[in-house]
């Protein structure tokens, strides 16, 4: 057997090679901890495993050290919301997930606001739900954790096991160890990081957090626009004629069910349309009941029916409470939405000082490629069933029927749940086109 190479001669390649070597042993695991005494080495092992596994399934790789620099080299800096913020504030993981630039199926979950490697975070009661969510969708959650972090045993118990990266055997007591990586003997001294490194890093993160906290919602990319048509076709009955779309009568929407507690991995199906999105709109109001939101549209139907009016059910923070936002308009630039808001105020659809311009680039597609002669009847049939659809004319003259308008893909989950309950597969897309 060929002895392992000295990492002082091969840089960090040895750690990555070891990660690739053991990746296959984790194929049936839904969540694993990468536990080590050196955050950089652990992160390199974890990144190599994640890259291999992302060829087979979606992978989310999280930092619970605050020092896993190789992860941030792949997907951006550290000055953002992260895992600690998700757990403390009840945010969905999708709000922090960053896609790796070279692959659609790998996401990085940054550490977040310090302290991170503490019992409050590692022993948080939400971890079992997160792990269960990944298991349900066949995805893989990986977390890089310091070997001496308080709460490690509790977090390990919620996952499928641990991979130990150059830590003494004593750390294995009470843990389910799936694999062990031990560095070559000449490299032992290189594993000793300065004692104050963590404190310095934490201080920098505090400063960065106070200066700018960025909530990031990322989405992966699809490769071909034909996916868009295929996804829509699954939810439409055979077309009566070319260029038309017949729709099965959806059932009345059921009570909205909160989404599974995991990273949302569904991609927008029309990534090629990003240059023609119409993301800007006016948020007129937010009601705590669907009836309250619908009443505004009913009272002001003539002034909103041709302006892309819809109701977007969204959860607030990490709670299960749903608020129903009335969103009107679809503009390619902010000036168009500002103009619409001004007109609505002049027409007294909204009071002076009320309403605000929002950027909502995502929506759920109900029907695509509609002939204009059929558009209004389809719109009316979906409206009667409570989905508050709206029509946008596409560049080729066809019409697309949307529902909802959302700032992030995660916000679409409540409406997607209602569509699923009605027997309709939700299709996430970028909002494109102009108002009807």
78-82, 167-171, 415-419: which has the minimum mean pLDDT? 78-82
Q: In the prediction, which pLDDT does 331 show?
A: 92
Q: In the prediction, which pLDDT does 45 show?
A: 96
Residue 259 lies in a domain: yes
Higher pLDDT, 178 or 354: 178
Most confident of 274-278, 292-296, 305-309: 292-296
- Residues 418 and 275 placed together within one structural domain of the fold: yes
Q: In the prediction, which pLDDT does 313 show?
A: 92
State the chain's mean pLDDT as an integer.
76
pLDDT tier, 293 (very low <50, low <70, confident <90, very high otherwise): confident
Torsion sign over Cα 114, 118, 119, 122: positive
Q: In the prediction, which pLDDT does 65 show?
A: 93
User: What would the two tokens of residue 288 be?
Assistant: 């705590």
Whether the pLDDT of residue 24 is over 60: the answer is yes
- Residues 157 and 199 placed together within one structural domain of the fold: yes
φ/ψ of residue 403, rounded to 5: -140, 135
Residue 412 lies in a domain: yes
Q: In the prediction, which pLDDT does 95 show?
A: 77
- Residues 302 and 398 placed together within one structural domain of the fold: yes
Most confident of 42-56, 99-113, 274-288: 42-56
Q: In the prediction, which pLDDT does 413 show?
A: 86
Residue 106 lies in a domain: yes
Per the CB < 8 A criterion, the answer to whether 83 and 141 are in contact is: no
Higher pLDDT, 115 or 232: 115
- Residues 75 and 193 placed together within one structural domain of the fold: yes
- Residues 399 and 331 placed together within one structural domain of the fold: yes
Nearest to 282 by CA among 347, 377, 369: 347
Q: Which of 166, 188, 211 is the last residue of a domain?
A: 211
Nearest to 269 by CA among 131, 425, 382: 425
**Number of neighbouring beta carbons within 10 Å of residue 396:** 8
- What angle, 0 to 180 degrees and rounded to 10, lies between the N-to-C axes of helices 39-53 and 13-22? 50
- Domain holding 146: CATH number? 3.40.50.300
What are the contacts of 238-245 at 24+ separation with CB within 8 A? Answer: 243/369, 243/371, 243/398, 244/369, 244/370, 244/371, 244/374, 245/367, 245/368, 245/369, 245/370, 245/374, 245/378
- Residues 297 and 337 placed together within one structural domain of the fold: yes
Q: Which of 211, 239, 261 is the last residue of a domain?
A: 211
Whether the pLDDT of residue 390 is over 50: the answer is yes
Q: Which of 178, 211, 244 is the last residue of a domain?
A: 211
Whether the pLDDT of residue 219 is over 50: the answer is no
φ/ψ of residue 140, rounded to 5: -130, 120
Q: What are the pLDDT digits (tens) for 302-351? A: 555 567 899 999 886 555 678 899 999 999 999 999 999 998 888 888 88
Residue 343 lies in a domain: yes
- Residues 198 and 232 placed together within one structural domain of the fold: no
Cα–Cα distance measured from residue 55 to residue 20, given in angstroms and rounded to the nearest whole number:
12
List Cα–Cα distances, 135 to 125, 127, 160, in angstroms.
17, 12, 10
Ramachandran region of residue 261, left (φ > 0), alpha (ψ -120 to 50) or beta? beta
Confidence (pTM): 0.47
Question: What DSSP element (H or E) covers 89?
Answer: helix 83-89
Residue 217 lies in a domain: no
Residue 380 lies in a domain: yes
Per the structure, the count of domains in the chain is 2
- Residues 76 and 132 placed together within one structural domain of the fold: yes
Domain, as residue range, for 120 = 7-211
- Residues 119 and 196 placed together within one structural domain of the fold: yes
Q: How many residues does the chain have?
A: 436
Q: In the prediction, which pLDDT does 195 show?
A: 37
Residue 388 lies in a domain: yes
- Residues 398 and 278 placed together within one structural domain of the fold: yes
Cα–Cα distance measured from residue 102 to residue 59, given in angstroms and rounded to the nearest whole number:
13
Ramachandran region of residue 388, left (φ > 0), alpha (ψ -120 to 50) or beta? left
Residue 216 lies in a domain: no
Instruction: State the average pLDDT over residues 193-221.
Output: 39
Per the CB < 8 A criterion, the answer to whether 408 and 214 are in contact is: no
Give 401-426 as a 3 state SS string. EEEEEECCHHHHHHHHHHHHHCCCCC
pLDDT tier, 22 (very low <50, low <70, confident <90, very high otherwise): very high
- Residues 53 and 185 placed together within one structural domain of the fold: yes
- Residues 52 and 152 placed together within one structural domain of the fold: yes
Q: In the prediction, which pLDDT does 82 show?
A: 86
Per the CB < 8 A criterion, the answer to whether 6 and 184 are in contact is: yes
């Amino acid at each position: 057997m060929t002895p392992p190479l000295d990492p002082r001669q091969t840089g960090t390649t040895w750690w990555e090679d070891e990660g690739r070597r053991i990746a296959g042993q984790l194929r049936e695991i839904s969540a694993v901890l990468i536990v080590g005494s050196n955050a950089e080495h652990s992160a390199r092992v974890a990144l190599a495993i994640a890259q291999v596994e992302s060829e087979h399934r979606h992978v989310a790789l999280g930092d619970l050290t605050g020092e896993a620099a190789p992860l941030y080299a792949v997907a951006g800096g550290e000055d953002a919301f992260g895992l600690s913020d998700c757990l403390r504030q009840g945010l969905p993981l999708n709000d922090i997930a960053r896609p790796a630039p070279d692959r659609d199926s790998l996401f990085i979950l940054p550490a977040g606001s310090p302290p991170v490697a503490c019992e409050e975070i590692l022993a948080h009661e939400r971890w079992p739900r997160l792990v269960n969510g990944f298991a349900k969708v066949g995805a893989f959650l990986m977390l890089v954790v310091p070997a001496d972090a308080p709460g490690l045993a509790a977090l390990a118990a919620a996952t499928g096991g641990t991979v130990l990266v150059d830590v003494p055997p004593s750390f294995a007591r009470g843990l389910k160890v799936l694999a062990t990586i031990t560095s070559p003997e000449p490299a032992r001294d290189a594993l000793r990081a300065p004692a104050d490194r963590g404190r310095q890093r934490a201080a920098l993160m505090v400063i960065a957090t106070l200066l700018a906290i960025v909530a990031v919602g990322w989405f992966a990319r699809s490769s071909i626009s034909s996916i868009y048509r295929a996804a829509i076709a699954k939810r439409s009955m055979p077309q009566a004629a070319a260029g038309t779309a017949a729709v099965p009568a959806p059932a009345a929407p059921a009570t909205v069910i909160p989404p599974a507690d995991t990273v949302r991995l569904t991609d927008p199906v029309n990534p090629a349309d990003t240059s023609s999105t119409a993301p800007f709109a006016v948020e007129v109001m937010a009601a705590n009941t669907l009836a309250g939101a619908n009443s505004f549209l009913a009272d002001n139907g003539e002034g909103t029916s041709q302006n892309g009016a819809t109701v977007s059910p969204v959860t607030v923070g990490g709670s299960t409470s749903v608020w129903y936002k009335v969103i009107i308009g679809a503009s390619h630039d902010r000036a168009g939405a500002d103009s619409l808001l001004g007109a609505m105020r002049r027409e007294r659809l909204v009071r002076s000082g009320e309403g605000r311009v929002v950027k909502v680039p995502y929506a759920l597609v109900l029907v695509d490629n509609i002939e204009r002669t059929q558009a209004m009847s389809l719109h009316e049939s979906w409206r009667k069933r409570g989905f508050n659809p709206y029509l946008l004319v596409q560049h080729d003259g066809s019409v697309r029927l949307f529902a909802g308008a959302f700032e992030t893909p995660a916000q679409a989950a409540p409406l997607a749940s209602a569509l699923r309950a009605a027997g309709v597969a939700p299709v996430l897309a970028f909002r494109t086109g102009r108002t009807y």
